[in-house]
Amino acid sequence: MKINPSYPRLGVLLAAASWVWGWGCTSDRDVITRLFESESAWIDLSYSFNESAIYWPTAEGFRLDTVAAGVQEAGYYYTANNFSAAEHGGTHLDAPSHFAEGREHVDEIPLARLIGPAVVIDVVARAAADPDYLVSTADFESFEAAYGPIPTGAIVLLRTGWGQRWADRAAYLGTAATGPDAVPLLHFPGLAPEAARWLTENRVVGAVGIDTPSIDYGQSTTFESHQILYGRNIPGLENLANLEAMPETGGYVVALPMKIEGGSGAPLRIVGVVPGRG
C-alpha cells in the first residue's frame, strides 16, 4: 500500500509506530496489515450524542427532533431526524482557531495530524486525590523515563479517570448548574500551561486529548493551555471515553471530526486500535 503523497506525515507516523512498538514491519503495507489484523482490538473512545451528553454550562446541548418515523402511505418504513448542538460538547474536537486567531479551522486540519500512534499519560491516582489536578511536565518526564520519548506525530492522551463520572453531570463538571454562574463552580483536572509549553517546545505531536470537558482545568479563567497548544496548530480532543482501555504505548488513534467549514470545533468520532489484543 502506498501512502497518498499529499499526506507524507502519515508514512512517517506509520514507520514510527512500527519502530516504537517493535512490530517488525518493513513497509507501510505491513503496518496497515498489523493494525487491521483480526487480533487487533478496536476501542470506541467516543460518547453517544444524546440529551444526556455533557456540554459546557453556557453551551446549547444536543437535541434530536423527529421528522418522520413509521410506515409511510406508500407502505415502506422511513425515519429521519434533525439535530442541533453547540460545536463544543460531548466527545468533540477543538480546532486551533478556537483559541488562536489565524490558526486552522476544523476543515483545515490535515487528516494525518488526527491519525497516529497514541501515548497515554496516566494521572488517575493524582486526579483522584485532587479534582483540580494539573498534568505536569514531571508527568511527561516520568512517562518518558518508563517508555522512551514521545514519538514524532503521536496523539497524546491524558487519562485522569474522569470518564468514570460521565453518567453524573455534577460529579463530572463539579456542578450541576448551568449558565454563566456555573462556570466558576467547575472542578475537573486539566493540562498545566507549563506542561503544554514543554510539549510544544520539546516534542512534535499531532493532537492532545483528555477525558475531561476541557484541556484546561475547571478553575481556569484564561485557558492558557488552549492558547499554547492551539497557537501551534495542535488540536484538542475533549470528553474522551474509555481511555482506561488504552495502553500507555502500543495503541493507535483515528480521530475524525464532522467537517464543519470554518468551524472552531466539531463533534468527534474517535477510535483506538491495539494490535494483538483482540
Residues 213-228 have pLDDT tens digits of 999 999 999 999 999 9
pLDDT at 40: 86
pLDDT at 276: 78
Q: How far is CA 70 from CA 64, 73, 74, 81, 201, in A?
A: 17, 10, 11, 12, 56
pLDDT at 2: 40
Q: Which residues of the chain have pLDDT under 50?
A: 1-8, 12, 19-21
| φ, ψ dihedrals at 10, nearest 5° | -65, -40
102: left (phi over 0), alpha (psi -120 to 50) or beta: left
| 98 is known as an active-site residue | yes
CB atoms within 10 A of CB 30: 15
Of the candidates 40, 10, 42, the residue with the CA atom closest to the CA atom of residue 28: 10
**Homologous superfamily of 43-59+87-274:** Putative cyclase (3.50.30.50)
- Catalytic entry in 98, 105, 187, 226: 98
Q: Give the start-to-end residue ranges of the domains of the chain.
A: 43-59+87-274
